[in-house]
Amino acid sequence: MKRICISIVSAVVLGVFLAAYFIPTELHATYTPDHSVYENDPVTEEEFNVYTTSRLGRVKEVTDYSIDTEFIEEDGEIQVTTEDAKMSAEVNLDVIPVVSSDIVYNTVCYEDRMGQYTPDVSEIIYYGDGSMETVPENQLNVSYEKNDQTDTIKITAAGTNDIYQEEFPLITVDSITTKDKVSTEKALTSDKLDLIIHYSDGTSVKAKKKQITSKKIRHPKEGTNKLTCYYNGESFKVKVKAFEPKPTVTFDGYGTFELEYSDYYDVGVSRLNSFDGVTYFDDHRETFYSQNSLPGTGLWIPGRHVADDGTIRDGEGFICAAADSSFKDRYDVVLTSLGPAKIYDTGCPYGTIDIYVDW
């Protein structure tokens, strides 16, 4: 009997010991970030070290727990609770408080951008340690209300500690312009143009593709056309200059050239010049003769004039030249090192193109 009693007592003592060692009696929690803690900082469960202890000092990590706040509050108190809510612990942090805050409106308000872009609004928070933080606009709740009678916009921004309101003048669209020139041979619409939007504050911005629509001018006239464009619920008359396309001439191996009344032709070869006096190009020899010594009063050259490079040209832009009649017929078109030419004269050796100039 005595042995039985001793065994029972031993079992009880062992049970009490095991219970005191394994059964947790207290929950502990610490906030782990190694930086200063500021009021309104976000809090996540991953930033806590949570564990239990038993009467005999056994420590066990706790992974299933919850916290009672998402942001650090001024008092620094955070309640940590086990998942079964049987145990809880309080964490007391040394919090740097918010002293004041303000909203900064670095913005101008364009009537055509409301609803497309949030104005450049930010919140500045000042803390007790003298530091400050800028909260960007995408973390603020910003709304705007347009007043058509006063052409103003009221911006409401919900900040960290307060709701701010400010009224700004509304910048309107004054006009739409383009520097593009179009051909009279093609229909005119806004999607073919690079358009510039001009505002009442003197600023301007390039319009995005398909941002502006328009009517169609099927047959633009040479000169200035007024294209009706639609933007942001309003219509605008956009002045667009149209031109008659220049005639072209094509040469095998050299491509197509637009006929220039006076501008320089770039054939991509060494050009005839007054210093050398002669060059060879393609299937012919080139020389020049000057109207300063041979006025050519008997030549019939419609629209005769001196071009920028000193060549004599007709009204279409062809350089005037001479050739033996057995080599080239009168009015034949030929490519020279100076550009497209037309034969108006004779009197030079076979195989030679003599170019009429003002050198």
What's the whole-number average pLDDT of the chain? 88
Q: For position 3, what pLDDT does the model report?
A: 62
Is 7's pLDDT higher than 80? no
Q: What is the pLDDT of residue 1?
A: 62
The length of the chain is 359
The span from the CA of 126 to the CA of 38, in Å, is 11
Residue 88 and residue 79 in contact, taking contact as beta carbons nearer than 8 Å: yes
Rg (CA), the chain: 44
Q: Which CATH number fits domain 174-243: 1.10.1060, 3.40.50, 2.60.40, 2.20.25?
A: 2.60.40
Confidence (pLDDT) at 106: 67
Phi, psi of 235 (to 5 degrees): -110, 145
Total Cβ atoms within 10 A of residue 95 = 20
Q: Which residues contact 170 (CB under 8 A, 6 or more apart)?
A: 109, 110, 111, 146, 147, 151, 152, 153
Residues 330-339 have pLDDT tens digits of 999 999 999 9
Q: pLDDT digits over 188-247, tens only? A: 999 989 999 999 888 899 998 889 999 999 999 999 999 999 998 899 999 999 998 889
Asked whether 25 and 55 are in contact (CB, 8 A), the reply is yes
Q: Which residue has the tokens 């072209």?
A: 248
What sign has the CA pseudo-torsion 234, 235, 237, 241? Answer: positive
How many other C-beta atoms can be found within 10 angstroms of the C-beta atom of residue 341? Answer: 27
Q: Which of 330, 331, 322, 314 is nearest to 349 (CA)?
A: 322
Q: Which pLDDT belongs to residue 13? A: 67
Could you tell me the two tokens for 330? 């009168």
CB 104 within 8 A of CB 124: yes
pLDDT in tens, 294-329: 888 888 999 999 999 999 999 999 999 999 999 999
Tell me the C-alpha distance between 160 and 164, whole Å: 10
- Opening angle at CA 75, ends 74 and 78, nearest 5: 105
Please write the tens of the pLDDT for every residue from 110-146.
Answer: 777 654 444 578 888 899 999 988 888 777 888 878 7
3-state secondary structure of 269: coil
| Amino acid at position 296, single letter | G
